[in-house]
Structure 1
């Protein structure tokens, strides 16, 4: 990709959808522990379409722990070559 994803312009509904998608992917995990589940419930109730820096780090950590690539939305062990993307 030649264009940096951070420079794309998304509407509020696009941003909300992306956040909800990230949260729902994690909430559907069978092995989700109580603490990450509580954090996801909190993040899902936010009335804004963005996360603070700390919230983004926490969500990213949970995604990493459960094998979800937060940039592309797929599980890390699915056979894709991340370097190709």
Structure 2
């Protein structure tokens, strides 16, 4: 399912140059960026839209470990695929 999500979301165009790869890395989410974003929302009293909790969660699931692990998996698959200069394979 992850590969299908990436294929639909990122398309099948290979990244061919180092500047393109660096641009991808700079713009992809990271655990650190997303954690900082959620911490800011919590600090300003923004609650989860699903549970109403004032917590580090997304869609009722905790940021650590659930979403942080998914972000890391997406990065591994995306950057591994881009680093090999080939599109994400089919499911």
TM norm structure 1: 0.30
TM norm structure 2: 0.29
Larger radius of gyration: 2
